[in-house]
Amino acid sequence: MAHLQQRGKAHFGTHTTTEVLREAARQLVEDRRAAEQAQLSPLPGQAEYLDLVRAVIELAPKDMAQQHALLASVARFTLRKHPALARPTPETTP
């Protein structure tokens, strides 16, 4: 996870927080493990991590708290490459 956070810091500098980078990395690792356990490929990796962080920065460029809040909803579009791994989110739960 530290490597991902370093890459995120190199790409986005002060446009987000360490907490956002850490949570995005945690979500990536979790989704990657789930895909590995289900024997699915391709696995989400650094590109999807950077896409996720870029998306939340673009959606809330100056609001770091909102960036953190957006991670869960945006992650389903960037990290979960397989429909079998889709988890319900507050927006999709009846």
Q: What is the pLDDT of residues 46-75, one digit of tens each?
A: 999 999 999 999 999 999 999 999 998 888
Domain boundaries, the chain: 2-85
> What is the pTM (predicted TM-score) of this model?
0.81
> What distance lies between CA 76 and its chain's CA centroid?
8
> What distance lies between CA 39 and its chain's CA centroid?
20
- Average pLDDT across the chain, whole number: 86
Is the omega angle on the peptide bond into residue 42 within 30 degrees of 0, that is, cis? yes
Residue 87 · residue 63 · CB < 8 Å: no
